[in-house]
Amino acid sequence: MPDWSAGYVSDIGYTYGVYPELNPLRVRLAFLNAGLVFPEQGHACELGFGQGVSVNVHAAASATQWHGTDFNPVQAGFARELAAASGADAHLGDASFAEFCARPDLPDFDFICLHGVWSWVSDENRHVLVDFVRRKLKVGGVLYISYNTQPGWAALSPVRELMTRHYATMTVPSADIGQRIGQALGFADALLATDPGFVQANPHIPARMELLKASSTAYLAHEYFNRDWQPMSFPALADWLAPARLDFACPATYVEHIDSAIVTPEQARFLQGVTDPALKQMAFDFMINQQFRRDYWVRGARRLAPLERARLLRGQRVVLVMAPDDVAYTVKAGQIEVGLNEAMHRPVIETLADHLPRTIGELETACAAAGLTAVQTQQAVFQLAGTQQVQPAQDDAAIERALPACRRLNEHLLALAEHRGDIHYLASPVTGGGIPVPRLHQLFLLGQARGHGQAGELVAFAMALGAGRDLRPVHGEAAATVDQQVALLERQAAAFLQRRLPVLQALAVVS
């Protein structure tokens, strides 16, 4: 492994995700729900942006100027390619954290993001990151940080150590990283199959191993096989961030704002009696067996006056990003899946069914006819936003400003989909962020752009680009033969044209 990697996996690329927590509009809605003053979003920074899809989507889809670095020059090169394609205001490079954080030419930031970084770097780099936040985050600015935490990792930590030890000592360093990881997984799986006392004390571990075996090599490499890896409790993280003078603002995972949604009434009463904020968060993590936290911190938490909060909340625009019939009335919080009250949420969905942005105040008025109070409507919107099926929306002027860069970026991403299938998002100027679009739908969009309008034509176009090989069983439908693949693709193309394409057009993802 090259010395410049500082122990971080560098011989296989990071995944190509888009992380909605980096969307400044999502920060705003989370802060409004928590009753806090939210920052303006003139300048933002992502440290360790991976392949850079997320930072580029958010740069193209909003007026925020983004800066960032990722130590891997291959990843930074791809990120810069995306920035050049969109023409967005994104300044991305491949400096180390120490080099980037020492630059004298950087602006002060309203928003600094550390996604998928904190748990996988050395203490030396953590000190660099905290010092950077201390110096460069504006008063009132927000830090987003995600990290592995306890107690959710308590049982799996020994398995991770077992695999990394085998990887380091029992595999050939010059071998393909995927083969080495596969061998390490196989070793751990074989050991657990002997029914050791560890499995008897932790009976859920075999099921977790099955999930690992189904995961991509890139995910496993970066999640489990870095040299530095440290799950951290909430109080321990708070101690680390203390020199930067940050206050915990709220979870970035919306459902965690609502204790009653994911803990029992007895647990909720217990939490109400915990007066130390850090201990309360730690107790909450025990209750849901938290494995991965996503949090917003702020330099100087200020409360909004109740009337001001109500005014701003009612003025917040939101939009439905799914066909109404495709909405799922569930939301996940870590390992927990929470069911939503469909009777309370359906009036919101029906009001937003045309996929036009509306303010929460407008929704309150419309949903009153269905018997919802203003508070119930606000809660329903926030919970649906937690599922990402309803998302905050920009104002019309911001949408118009972001539209050209989004169109250029999406055209580039669709062109890439002709040859690859690892980027599953496109940019929306309406939401200021990314919209999930699987490769098959991207190929349908690309086919339309090349003059293929009918379902049969789109299927033929997608099949010519290998879409049939990408099919997985859907609702029990297998697609082993070419005829089966074509039949399944025809059904998916018809559903795409009827239900998904109108949504993507309404969100200005495509024209």
3-state secondary structure 196-248: CHHHHHCCCHHHHHHHHHCCCHHHHHHHHCCCCCCCCCHHHHHHHHHHHCCEE
Q: Torsion angle of alpha carbons 264, 267, 271, 273, nearest 10°? A: 130
Give 159-198 as a DSSP string.
HHHHHHHHHHHSS-TTS-HHHHHHHHHHHHHHHHTT--HH
Residue type, 373: T
Helices 234-241, 277-288: crossing angle, 10 deg rounding: 140
Q: Torsion angle of alpha carbons 95, 97, 100, 104, nearest 10°? A: -160
Which one, of 275, 15, 295, lies nearest residue 149 by Cα?
Answer: 295
pLDDT of residue 337: 76
Helices 455-464, 482-495: crossing angle, 10 deg rounding: 130
pLDDT of residue 478: 53
Query: Hey, what are 292's tokens?
Result: 């991965």
Residue type, 122: S
Helix (H, G, I), strand (E, B), or coil: what is residue 410?
helix
pLDDT in tens, 268-307: 999 999 999 999 999 999 999 999 999 999 999 999 999 9
Query: Hey, what are 229's tokens?
Result: 């890896």
Query: Hey, what are 369's tokens?
Result: 């006819």
pLDDT of residue 473: 46
Residue spans of the domains in the chain: they are: 3-7+14-151+229-259+289-298, 157-224, 310-393, 403-506
How many whole angstroms separate alpha carbon 148 and alpha carbon 232?
Answer: 6
For residue 38, give the H/E element and its range: none
Bridge-based pairing state of the strands 330-333 and 90-93 = unpaired
Query: Hey, what are 267's tokens?
Result: 């647990």
Count other C-beta atoms under 10 Å from residue 100's C-beta. 21
pLDDT of residue 139: 96
Q: State which residues of the chain have pLDDT below 50.
A: 1-5, 7-8, 10-11, 473-476
Number of H helices, E strands in the chain: 24, 14
How many whole angstroms separate alpha carbon 334 and alpha carbon 344?
Answer: 24
Token pair 């937690």 in the structure block, residue: 386
How many whole angstroms separate alpha carbon 55 and alpha carbon 49?
Answer: 7
User: What are residue 110's phi and psi, to 5 degrees?
Assistant: -85, -25
Token pair 């100087």 in the structure block, residue: 300
Please name every residue paired with 318 in a beta bridge, in sequence order, or none if there are none. 358, 392
List, in sequence order, every beta strand (DSSP E) within 381-480.
390-393, 425-428, 433-436
Token pair 């090989």 in the structure block, residue: 469
Q: Torsion angle of alpha carbons 310, 311, 312, 317, nearest 10°? A: 100
The CA–CA distances, whole Å, from 289 to 13, 293, 317 equal 30, 11, 34
User: What are residue 321's phi and psi, to 5 degrees?
Assistant: -110, 15
pLDDT of residue 174: 83
Count other C-beta atoms under 10 Å from residue 346's C-beta. 17
pLDDT of residue 476: 47
Q: What's the pTM?
A: 0.91
Which one, of 313, 427, 301, 455, lies nearest residue 375 by Cα?
Answer: 313
Query: Hey, what are 289's tokens?
Result: 């067996």
Q: Where does 3-7+14-151+229-259+289-298 sit in CATH, by number? A: 3.40.50.150
Q: Torsion angle of alpha carbons 226, 417, 386, 501, nearest 10°? A: -170
Residue type, 56: N
Which one, of 356, 360, 389, 352, lies nearest residue 377 by Cα?
Answer: 360
- Report the chain's terminal Cα–Cα distance, integer Å: 45
How many whole angstroms separate alpha carbon 164 and alpha carbon 156?
Answer: 12
How many whole angstroms separate alpha carbon 150 and alpha carbon 277?
Answer: 17
